[in-house]
Amino acid sequence: MRMVTLPGGESVPALGLGTWHMGERGSDRAAEADALRCGIDLGMTLIDTAEMYGTGGAEEVVGAAIRDRRDKVFLISKVLPFNASRNGTVEACEASLARLGVEAIDLYLLHWPGPSPLEETLAGFEDLQRDGKIRHWGVSNFDTSEMKALAIEPGGSACVTNQVLYNLARRGIEFDLLPWCVARSMPVMAYSPLEQGRLSGNKALAEVAGRHGVTELQIALAWVLDRDGVIVIPKAGRLDHVRQNHAALGIRLTSEDRTALDHAFPPPSVKRPLEIL
**Is 86 inside any structural domain?**
yes
Could you tell me what percent of the chain has a pLDDT over 90? 97
**Is 267 inside any structural domain?**
no
- Whether 53 sits among the annotated catalytic residues: the reply is yes
**Is 49 inside any structural domain?**
yes
Q: Is the pLDDT of residue 216 over 90?
A: yes
User: Which of 53, 108, 166, 191 is labelled catalytic?
Assistant: 53
pLDDT per position as a tens digit, 173-188: 999 999 999 999 999 9
**Is 167 inside any structural domain?**
yes
Q: Is the pLDDT of residue 277 over 90?
A: no
Average pLDDT over residues 96-104: 98
Distance of alpha carbon 106 from alpha carbon 125, whole angstroms:
12
Q: What is the mean pLDDT of the chain?
A: 97
Looking at residue 146, which CATH number applies to its domain?
Answer: 3.20.20.100
Distance of alpha carbon 268 from alpha carbon 176, whole angstroms:
10
Could you tell me what percent of the chain has a pLDDT over 70? 100
pLDDT of res. 149: 97
**Is 266 inside any structural domain?**
no
Distance of alpha carbon 73 from alpha carbon 46, whole angstroms:
6
Average pLDDT over residues 89-100: 98
**Is 122 inside any structural domain?**
yes
Do residues 4 and 16 lie in contact, with contact meaning Cβ atoms separated by under 8 Å? no
Burial of 115 (0-12, 13-18, 19+ CB in 10 A): exposed
pLDDT of res. 162: 98
3-state secondary structure the chain: CCEEECCCCCEEECECEECCCCCCCHHHHHHHHHHHHHHHHCCCCEEECCCCHHHHHHHHHHHHHCCCCHHHCEEEEEECHHHCCHHHHHHHHHHHHHHHCCCCEEEEEECCCCCCCHHHHHHHHHHHHHCCCEEEEEEECCCHHHHHHHHCCCCHHHCCCEEEECECCECHHHCCHHHHHHHCCCCEEEECCCHHHCCCCCHHHHHHHHHHCCCHHHHHHHHHHCCCCEEECCECCCHHHHHHHHHHHHCCCCHHHHHHHHHHCCCCCCCCCCCCC
pLDDT of res. 207: 97
pLDDT per position as a tens digit, 135-167: 999 999 999 999 999 999 999 999 999 999 999
**Which residues lie below 8 Å from residue 220, measured CB to CB, with a gap of 6+?**
167, 168, 193, 194, 195, 199, 205
Average pLDDT over residues 251-272: 97
Number of domains comprising the chain: 1
**Is 210 inside any structural domain?**
no
Q: Is the pLDDT of residue 208 over 90?
A: yes
**CB neighbours (10 Å) of residue 136?**
21
User: Facing residues of 130 across strands?
Assistant: none
pLDDT per position as a tens digit, 229-253: 999 999 999 999 999 999 999 999 9
Range of the structural domain that residue 34 is part of = 3-197+228-252
The pTM assigned to this predicted structure is 0.97
**Is 189 inside any structural domain?**
yes
